[in-house]
Amino acid sequence: MLSAYKTIEKEAREEYIVKKSRFISNIRPVTSQQEALDFINDISKKHWDATHNVYAYILRENCVERFSDDGEPQGTAGIPALDVLRKNGVTDCCVVVTRYFGGIMLGAGGLVRAYSHSAAIATEKAGIITRDICAVLKITCDYDFYGKLSSLIPENGGKTDSVDFADKVTAVFHLRKNSMKRFNDLLTDASNGKYKTEFLSERYETVYD
């Protein structure tokens, strides 16, 4: 697995009008070229009557970057949209900017600004998050200690996935892998060595500093 990366939190849509041209920007998290192409095709079919459906996407897998001007003058549409993703440092996402021509020419500079702005407002609306490798851990403890444990987990940036209340309490939670040693040290101190975590797996999760 690679290190932490930034991506968008959710799918989003925004609109922008300049000199009677209507720009509709759609952005979606994707994890493969096929997902990106499916999204592009969906938007293109929905806006089949548009003048242009410009796209750009970046993927972590194989460090892929792709874009299309879709008939706009070269360098005025796809690259500006791609640059927005690059400058925000996001990956695993695809943006499609649809244009309905309003009858007034924007010029090369105007097109660059319009497509950049359209991609930017969609990215902002989608929200940027950080995903990092997290360790999934399990711990079984007495009810008396669970109150302390339930505080210890979020204090170290962790998040509880599930809790089973039986004869004892069994909690499954995840936290950043690089925080695991510190958490285990604090757990040992807090329980006087009585409790230890069991490592279950690791996966990417959204994390908050």
Average pLDDT over residues 24-42: 96
Q: Which residues on neighbouring strands pair with residue 133, listed in sequence order?
A: 204
* Rounded Cα distance, 202 and 13, in Å: 33
Residues 6+ apart with CB under 8 A from 150: 160, 171
Q: Is the pLDDT of residue 32 over 70?
A: yes
Q: What DSSP designation does 47 have?
A: T
HSE of 146, CA atoms in CB hemisphere, 13 A:
17
> To the nearest whole percent, how much of the chain has pLDDT over 90?
90
Q: What is the pLDDT of residues 71-119, one digit of tens each?
A: 999 999 999 999 999 999 999 999 999 999 988 888 999 999 999 999 9
Largest Cα separation within the chain, whole Å, is 75
* Per-residue pLDDT, 183: 94
3-state helix, strand and coil shares in percent for the chain, rounded to the nearest 5: 35, 40, 25
Average pLDDT over residues 130-138: 94
- Residue 2: band (very low, low, confident or very high) from pLDDT cuts 50, 70, 90: low
Domains of the chain: 5-126 (3.30.230.30), 131-207 (3.30.70.240)
The residue behind tokens 């649809």 is 98
Tokens matching residue 182: 């510190």
